[in-house]
Protein backbone atom coordinates (compact mmCIF):
# COMPACT_ATOMS: atom_id res chain seq x y z
CA UNK A 1 0.00 0.00 0.00
CA UNK A 2 1.35 3.41 -0.98
CA UNK A 3 2.40 5.80 1.79
CA UNK A 4 1.22 9.42 1.59
CA UNK A 5 3.92 11.75 2.89
CA UNK A 6 3.82 15.27 4.29
CA UNK A 7 6.56 17.87 3.92
CA UNK A 8 9.61 16.99 5.99
CA UNK A 9 8.68 13.34 6.48
CA UNK A 10 11.25 10.59 5.91
CA UNK A 11 10.64 6.93 5.18
CA UNK A 12 12.90 3.89 4.81
CA UNK A 13 12.68 2.35 1.36
CA UNK A 14 14.80 -0.69 2.24
CA UNK A 15 12.93 -1.72 5.41
CA UNK A 16 9.43 -1.22 4.05
CA UNK A 17 10.10 -2.88 0.69
CA UNK A 18 12.13 -6.07 1.02
CA UNK A 19 14.16 -6.86 -2.07
CA UNK A 20 13.69 -3.39 -3.59
CA UNK A 21 16.36 -2.93 -6.25
CA UNK A 22 15.16 -0.33 -8.73
CA UNK A 23 12.70 2.54 -8.47
CA UNK A 24 10.95 4.90 -10.84
CA UNK A 25 10.66 8.47 -9.59
CA UNK A 26 7.55 9.98 -11.16
CA UNK A 27 6.94 13.71 -11.13
CA UNK A 28 3.76 15.46 -12.17
CA UNK A 29 2.17 18.88 -12.32
CA UNK A 30 -0.63 20.75 -14.07
CA UNK A 31 -0.76 24.28 -15.34
CA UNK A 32 -3.28 26.32 -13.36
CA UNK A 33 -6.07 28.03 -15.32
CA UNK A 34 -4.87 31.30 -16.80
CA UNK A 35 -6.12 34.54 -15.35
CA UNK A 36 -5.26 36.35 -12.19
CA UNK A 37 -1.56 35.75 -12.80
CA UNK A 38 0.97 35.19 -10.08
CA UNK A 39 3.82 36.90 -8.35
CA UNK A 40 5.85 37.57 -11.50
CA UNK A 41 2.76 38.81 -13.33
CA UNK A 42 2.21 41.47 -10.71
CA UNK A 43 5.91 42.26 -10.73
CA UNK A 44 6.00 42.84 -14.47
CA UNK A 45 2.52 44.32 -14.70
CA UNK A 46 -0.75 42.65 -15.57
CA UNK A 47 -0.56 43.92 -19.15
CA UNK A 48 2.18 41.43 -19.98
CA UNK A 49 0.95 37.90 -20.59
CA UNK A 50 2.90 34.76 -19.84
CA UNK A 51 4.56 33.28 -22.90
CA UNK A 52 3.20 29.87 -23.93
CA UNK A 53 2.96 26.67 -21.92
CA UNK A 54 4.93 26.20 -18.74
CA UNK A 55 7.81 23.80 -19.40
CA UNK A 56 8.90 22.18 -16.12
CA UNK A 57 12.11 20.16 -16.23
CA UNK A 58 12.92 17.39 -13.73
CA UNK A 59 16.53 16.62 -12.87
CA UNK A 60 18.53 14.44 -10.47
CA UNK A 61 21.69 15.52 -8.66
CA UNK A 62 23.97 12.68 -7.54
CA UNK A 63 25.88 13.86 -4.50
CA UNK A 64 29.08 12.70 -2.86
CA UNK A 65 29.28 13.92 0.72
CA UNK A 66 26.53 16.42 -0.01
CA UNK A 67 28.26 17.87 -3.09
CA UNK A 68 28.05 17.61 -6.88
CA UNK A 69 31.59 16.57 -7.77
CA UNK A 70 31.37 16.90 -11.56
CA UNK A 71 28.82 18.09 -14.11
CA UNK A 72 28.13 14.52 -15.25
CA UNK A 73 26.46 13.96 -11.88
CA UNK A 74 23.55 16.15 -13.00
CA UNK A 75 21.04 14.00 -14.88
CA UNK A 76 18.57 16.09 -16.88
CA UNK A 77 17.12 16.45 -20.40
CA UNK A 78 20.57 17.31 -21.76
CA UNK A 79 22.31 14.38 -19.99
CA UNK A 80 19.75 11.59 -19.81
CA UNK A 81 22.01 8.84 -18.47
CA UNK A 82 24.52 8.97 -15.63
CA UNK A 83 27.93 7.51 -16.49
CA UNK A 84 27.35 4.68 -13.99
CA UNK A 85 24.15 3.72 -15.82
CA UNK A 86 22.26 3.70 -12.52
CA UNK A 87 20.23 6.91 -12.95
CA UNK A 88 18.32 7.59 -16.15
CA UNK A 89 15.99 10.41 -17.21
CA UNK A 90 13.19 9.09 -19.39
CA UNK A 91 12.80 12.26 -21.48
CA UNK A 92 11.48 15.82 -21.46
CA UNK A 93 7.79 16.70 -21.30
CA UNK A 94 7.27 20.21 -22.66
CA UNK A 95 3.83 21.05 -21.27
CA UNK A 96 2.77 18.95 -18.26
CA UNK A 97 -0.52 18.21 -20.00
CA UNK A 98 -2.42 15.00 -19.28
CA UNK A 99 -2.80 12.71 -16.27
CA UNK A 100 -0.14 10.71 -14.46
CA UNK A 101 3.60 11.31 -14.40
CA UNK A 102 4.88 14.11 -16.59
CA UNK A 103 8.52 13.08 -16.28
CA UNK A 104 10.23 10.00 -14.86
CA UNK A 105 13.70 9.22 -13.56
CA UNK A 106 14.77 5.63 -12.90
CA UNK A 107 17.23 4.80 -10.12
CA UNK A 108 19.04 1.47 -9.80
CA UNK A 109 19.50 1.49 -6.03
CA UNK A 110 21.32 -1.83 -5.97
CA UNK A 111 24.16 -0.69 -8.23
CA UNK A 112 24.71 2.98 -7.42
CA UNK A 113 28.45 3.40 -6.77
CA UNK A 114 29.24 3.56 -3.05
CA UNK A 115 30.70 7.08 -3.44
CA UNK A 116 27.21 8.51 -3.98
CA UNK A 117 25.14 8.91 -0.82
CA UNK A 118 22.28 11.16 -1.94
CA UNK A 119 20.18 11.79 -5.04
CA UNK A 120 18.29 15.08 -5.00
CA UNK A 121 15.22 15.34 -7.25
CA UNK A 122 14.50 18.86 -8.46
CA UNK A 123 12.20 20.60 -10.94
CA UNK A 124 12.79 23.99 -12.51
CA UNK A 125 10.72 26.05 -14.95
CA UNK A 126 12.55 26.41 -18.25
CA UNK A 127 13.33 30.08 -18.99
CA UNK A 128 11.15 31.09 -16.05
CA UNK A 129 12.32 34.71 -15.88
CA UNK A 130 12.19 35.32 -19.63
CA UNK A 131 8.70 33.80 -19.85
CA UNK A 132 7.52 35.44 -16.60
CA UNK A 133 6.44 32.10 -15.18
CA UNK A 134 6.57 30.70 -11.65
CA UNK A 135 5.22 27.88 -9.50
CA UNK A 136 2.20 29.94 -8.49
CA UNK A 137 0.96 29.03 -11.98
CA UNK A 138 1.34 25.31 -11.23
CA UNK A 139 -1.04 23.06 -9.33
CA UNK A 140 -1.31 19.37 -8.41
CA UNK A 141 2.47 18.96 -8.20
CA UNK A 142 3.65 15.64 -6.80
CA UNK A 143 6.55 13.22 -6.57
CA UNK A 144 6.01 9.48 -6.24
CA UNK A 145 8.22 6.42 -6.05
CA UNK A 146 7.32 3.18 -7.80
CA UNK A 147 8.92 -0.28 -7.49
CA UNK A 148 10.20 -0.83 -11.03
CA UNK A 149 9.92 -4.62 -10.79
CA UNK A 150 6.26 -4.71 -9.71
CA UNK A 151 5.05 -1.29 -10.94
CA UNK A 152 3.50 -0.74 -7.50
CA UNK A 153 3.55 2.74 -6.01
CA UNK A 154 5.63 2.87 -2.81
CA UNK A 155 4.92 6.44 -1.72
CA UNK A 156 3.59 9.77 -2.91
CA UNK A 157 4.16 13.33 -1.74
CA UNK A 158 1.74 16.02 -2.93
CA UNK A 159 3.16 19.54 -2.75
CA UNK A 160 0.26 21.53 -1.34
CA UNK A 161 1.90 24.76 -0.21
CA UNK A 162 1.64 28.09 -2.03
CA UNK A 163 4.81 28.42 -4.08
CA UNK A 164 4.03 31.76 -5.73
CA UNK A 165 7.18 33.54 -6.85
CA UNK A 166 9.25 30.35 -6.87
CA UNK A 167 10.88 29.31 -10.14
CA UNK A 168 12.42 26.01 -9.01
CA UNK A 169 11.63 23.29 -6.52
CA UNK A 170 13.56 20.70 -4.54
CA UNK A 171 10.93 17.93 -4.50
CA UNK A 172 12.70 15.24 -2.48
CA UNK A 173 15.83 13.22 -1.79
CA UNK A 174 16.67 9.53 -2.05
CA UNK A 175 19.58 8.95 0.30
CA UNK A 176 21.69 6.20 1.84
CA UNK A 177 21.96 6.01 5.63
CA UNK A 178 23.54 3.18 7.63
CA UNK A 179 23.34 0.82 4.67
CA UNK A 180 19.69 1.45 3.82
CA UNK A 181 17.97 3.69 1.30
CA UNK A 182 15.52 6.31 2.53
CA UNK A 183 13.37 9.06 1.03
CA UNK A 184 12.84 12.57 2.37
CA UNK A 185 9.94 14.76 1.24
CA UNK A 186 11.59 18.19 0.95
CA UNK A 187 9.20 20.50 -0.92
CA UNK A 188 11.50 23.53 -0.84
CA UNK A 189 10.84 26.28 -3.37
CA UNK A 190 13.66 28.50 -4.65
CA UNK A 191 13.99 31.54 -6.88
CA UNK A 192 16.85 30.07 -8.93
CA UNK A 193 16.36 31.19 -12.55
CA UNK A 194 17.78 28.00 -14.08
CA UNK A 195 19.20 24.55 -13.53
CA UNK A 196 22.78 25.82 -13.25
CA UNK A 197 21.94 28.11 -10.36
CA UNK A 198 19.93 25.36 -8.66
CA UNK A 199 22.82 22.91 -9.02
CA UNK A 200 25.28 25.47 -7.62
CA UNK A 201 23.55 25.08 -4.23
CA UNK A 202 25.28 21.69 -4.01
CA UNK A 203 28.74 22.70 -5.23
Q: In order of start, what are the domains of the chain with their CATH numbers?
A: 3-200 (2.60.60.30)
Q: What is the pTM of this model?
A: 0.88
Q: For residues 129 and 177, give the distance between their C-alpha atoms in angstroms, rounded to a whole number.
A: 37
Whole-angstrom distance, CA of residue 4 vs CA of residue 74: 28
pLDDT at position 201 is: 96
- How much of the chain exceeds pLDDT 70, in percent? 87
What does the pLDDT look like over 65-86, one tens digit per residue?
Answer: 999 999 999 999 999 999 999 9
pLDDT at position 41 is 46
Q: Answer whether 18's CB lies under 8 Å from 109's CB.
A: no
Strands 152-158 and 56-63: unpaired
Mean per-residue pLDDT pooled into runs of 10, the chain (203 residues): 93 90 94 62 43 85 97 96 97 61 95 97 94 92 95 95 94 95 96 96 96
For position 54, what pLDDT does the model report?
86
Amino acid sequence: MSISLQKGQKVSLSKENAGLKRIVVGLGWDEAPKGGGGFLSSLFGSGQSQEGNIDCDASAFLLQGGKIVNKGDVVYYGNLRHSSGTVMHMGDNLTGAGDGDDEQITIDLENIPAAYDRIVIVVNIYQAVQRRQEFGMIRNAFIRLVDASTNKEILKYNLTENYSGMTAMIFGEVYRHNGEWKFSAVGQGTTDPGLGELASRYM
